[in-house]
Structure 1
Amino acid sequence: MSRDSRAISRLLRHTVGERGLTMSSDGWATIADVLNLLELPRDRLDAAVLENDKQRLQVDGERIRACQGHSLDGMPVTREALENSWERVYPDHLLWHGTTRAALPAIQREGLRPERRTHVHLAASKDSPVGRRTAVEVLLGVDSGNLEVFRAPNGVLLTREVPADAIVRADAVH
């Protein structure tokens, strides 16, 4: 991911409030404001959107947003507005979440919580790049039957939290 892509993603997911950028509750900001704040020309923003490795950035006319992954602290986004902008889905198979062995005991007791983010990220398959950071040692199988699950425009599946009893598998990553 390029420096521009990282800067735009960071701004739209985590630092809008502290940087003074106006953003709607579902994450949209004007491209002109983003360009001005980051001192970028439009062609570099367009290239950053295209090359973003996780397709985190979404452009609609003259506005831009991060598809998902927003912090709650200091951000104008709300869970409700984001969910209303995403597609509600009803998976009929296990969903997956990557974690570390060290985090596993707490997750098995307390479930998955978004902490300072709006939602927990899930993936439709074990081989999905979603949630596959370099530190992933365990893939958790989640029974989504009683969860509200949403799909962001970039395909990431999201839910507000995953109770411990919905985690039905823990598979080591080789």
Structure 2
Amino acid sequence: MTDRVRLSKRMSRVLRHDPARLGLALDDEGWTPVDALVAALGVTRAAVEDVVRNGTKQRYELDGDRIRARYGHSLPGRVELPAADPPAVLFHGTSPTTAAAITREGLRPMGRQFVHLSADEETARRVGARHGGRPVVLRVDAAAAAANGVVFRHGNDDTWLADAIGPAFLSRP
């Protein structure tokens, strides 16, 4: 594992799940001072900026002297990203044990702020494989969901976010 990946994982834990663990606080939109994060992690600002600039998942956002994770939070509150028009079809990877419940009840954010959707089937398969077993990939009719009032947000090139997706918009490819 590269140093960049290790640092990104540490940043993810702090900025998405547990800032208090290192004595940090996030504002209402998920921002914290870069200098405070650098000091808490014991790294250089250049290393943090490298993760933001070159990380493969575009999880972080810099704005002057502040930084935040763009998505994936399990903290109270909400990081607001602008609404965006999704592609016609998105995908969601999950484990076989939860696929039946999802097709019955729809996608909910569970412990996160948003439902995470993938732009392509292969990415969804990789995400689903992290949950153990052979992943199940669900097709999301994002165009129909958007036409019916579901608001989508663009997390990064591979990730789309929504509050929830009803079962009427889900199928197996």
Matched, 1:27 2:30: yes
Kept in 2: contact 1:5–1:51 (CA 8 A): no
1:131 Cα deviation from its structure 2 partner: 7.0
Choose the corresponding residue for 1:66, options 57, 60, 69: 69
CA distance in 2, matches of 1:126, 1:151: 17
SS at 1:4 equivalent: helix
Question: What does residue 121 of structure 1 align with?
Answer: 116
Aligned to 1:170: 172
Is the counterpart of residue 43 in structure 1 residue 46 in structure 2? yes
Corresponding residue for residue 98 of structure 1: 93
* TM-score after normalising by structure 2: 0.81
Distance 1:45 1:170 in 2: 39
Task: Give the secondary-structure state (helix, strand or coil) at the position aligned to 1:49.
Answer: helix
Shift of 1:35: 0.9
| AA partner of residue 141 (structure 1) | R
- For 2:119, give the aligned amino acid: A
Instruction: Tell me the CA shift for residue 51 of structure 1.
Output: 3.4
Tell me: CA distance 1:33–1:92, structure 2 relative to 1, closer, same or farther (3 Å): closer
In 2, Cα distance between equivalents of 1:131 and 1:14? 24
Deviations 1:31-86 (A, max 9, x none): 011011111121221222233221111111111111111113xx5xx23xx23xx2
- Aligned residue pair count: 160
Shift of the alpha carbon at 1:25? Answer: 1.4
TM-score (norm 1): 0.81
Q: How far is 1:7 from its partner?
A: 0.6
- 8 A Cα contact 2:90 2:141, kept in partner: yes
Which residue type is aligned with residue 132 of structure 1? R
Distance 1:104 1:89 in 2: 27
Amino acid at match of 1:170: R
